[in-house]
Structure 1
């Protein structure tokens, strides 16, 4: 009896002690932490806006938004439309809620979105506004644009070579089921040979022009040492043919190497330059999700001159080749990938669902 009383007493003390936290209270505390982080980030974003740090502001945009909005739209609009209003840093965050929210530009739902209402000075006026932030890769990130019409207007003004936004959910950076984005899941099979993919490369896309067809690269110049054959196609800026702006590498694998093994080698092999900070999304392990197309989406620094460069590396799970696409930013990488997917389907007489 004494032992039972002791255990009951300990339980009562544990539940009533100041440090005890009930499950409901813990959940509330978690939300409070998220809300505080999101509010702080909203203030930081307003500081970047105010200081004209548009490159950093773009870098902190959500990837799904970067996949749709090219950086020159952000820098151009903020410089011409936002800065003349004499903005200052947010002075008060009046409300923060974690809610489900759908971005109208890609029709994608984000279940835990921070909806932040704030007050921000513009000259002598205090403006009340709302921003939606979604946590991605450890940071609360923002979205540019609230309507297709307004976004397409600024795209036409600041990036006229770039295609208009259609509102197609395929423009989301990564689908929720972990499949490769931008329509490539519909065309990447073991039957997609390097020859067929090369034939599907667009001659032009978003202000970029395909160079003359190259020959096979010498062994010492191949990006992947394990490749038995490697060809790289490069794009240059249409207005400046001396500037390389995108590229596609087609690498054939040795008989003993699978696409999964090749991606693992690229990710963590002895010669890999990819770090955990570079890796955005991957589904390399077939057993995890049963994917038929394996891929990695990576951003690596190209130095002060080139800046960050996105790479999409992919192949059919049962294929014999590895494909790598790169471009100046995520937005142009998406357009290139979608053009390849559309051309593969057109060449086969199929239509994307």
Structure 2
């Protein structure tokens, strides 16, 4: 526990004891998730066929995050964007090809904001030299997201593996499946429920927005054109925060610049519960962030995550396991790609 004392640092001893109990319960939840997919996904899947698989990914991610801490957020987001479109099948990694539909990575939701593809490529290249066509790109991405969570302060969790790679990737499917930054709670709940995730999963996973950045275009309407009123700011935002953001994001009516701003200005490279603290002070960057405080049930969850940061961290790990099991391909489904960017020849 000592390594994660930054979570909920104001908690008292009784709460820590209760957190430890909840942690044990959550470990049970993760075990249940793995058991539910026992015939398809399993922890230690490559233990005998490619023992170095997880270590190779971990080393590659560690090197990339050391060079650029922001890459951790990119890998977590990429895993999310992969799982929510066609299931966790690595389809977000495929390049567009001439004569076919554009791939997921070229959707407006992903291009140019999605990043970290070269990290997956590097890990996959090493694995192909050590264990040819044994480790799927989908599993490499799931391992990389887990390692990114751990390297930014989150808890390490076991990733059940055995995913196979999909052969289809269409940008037309992205926006209809991903939650949008303009979503309200009802819309968010619907998107997550469609993937078999609960309301609490939704609030828990939203905490990933304590990492990374967002382009100004994703929230500029909250700064300059709220409810189509020229120059008006969203009244649900802290006025001081609005003034700060306006120094980073010019009015799109007078500038074509689309800069980026940290989703969490307090600890932008640390996976902690500051995201929820920001929401309490009306400093949620996206409409979909601040919306969590506008409905009683999700607002209660936000409060819990503010007051029990270490508990949220454990819940986040369990929710990542559940998300990583969405729509997986296993057995004879899909393929194990030689390159994560293209389907195998003849497939």
Q: Same fold (TM over 0.5)?
A: no
Higher helix fraction: Structure 1 or Structure 2?
2
Higher strand fraction: Structure 1 or Structure 2?
1
The structure with higher relative contact order (CA 8 Å, sep 6+) is 2
**Greater CA radius of gyration, 1 or 2?**
1
TM-score, with normalisation over the residues of structure 2?
0.22
TM-score, with normalisation over the residues of structure 1?
0.22
